[in-house]
A = this chain, B = another copy of it.
Amino acid sequence: MKINLFNQDSAAESFAAGSTLFREGDEGRDMFVVLSGSIEIVVRGRMVETVESGGIFGEMALVDHRPRIATAVVKSDAKVVRIDEKRFLFLVQQNPFFSLQVMAVIAERLRRMDERL
């Protein structure tokens, strides 16, 4: 599931491999779209996913306003676009395709977890 709305975004931030964008338990209200590089998502010490170009992460805290459930660590030097709550709500209102993509990303993660049952 790739999100291509943000490739031309001038507000991209760069992070070096090994950086931590957020940690499990942090308060946070931003999601991120990966433009390049890769990010590892770690839940309770287990790496559950690698997010690459076009992928998103951090959307959970925007959706349910609870602390981060995962830690996000840069695996290879990455450029990401940060989407704060205001912009997120704007995108949901203006762009049904964005909403469907966010749903699909969360659903994909849930399927993966369910398959571990």
Contact = CB atoms under 8 A, between A and B. Distances in A.
A15 to B, nearest CB: 23
Copies of the protein in its oligomer: 2
Interface in A51-104: 59-60, 63-64, 66, 69-70, 89, 92-93, 96, 99-100, 102-104
A103 B56 CA distance: 14
Interface residues of A, number: 30
Contacts of A108: 64
A70 B113 contact: no
Interface of A: 43-44, 46, 48, 59-60, 63-64, 66, 69-70, 89, 92-93, 96, 99-100, 102-104, 106-111, 113-114, 116-117
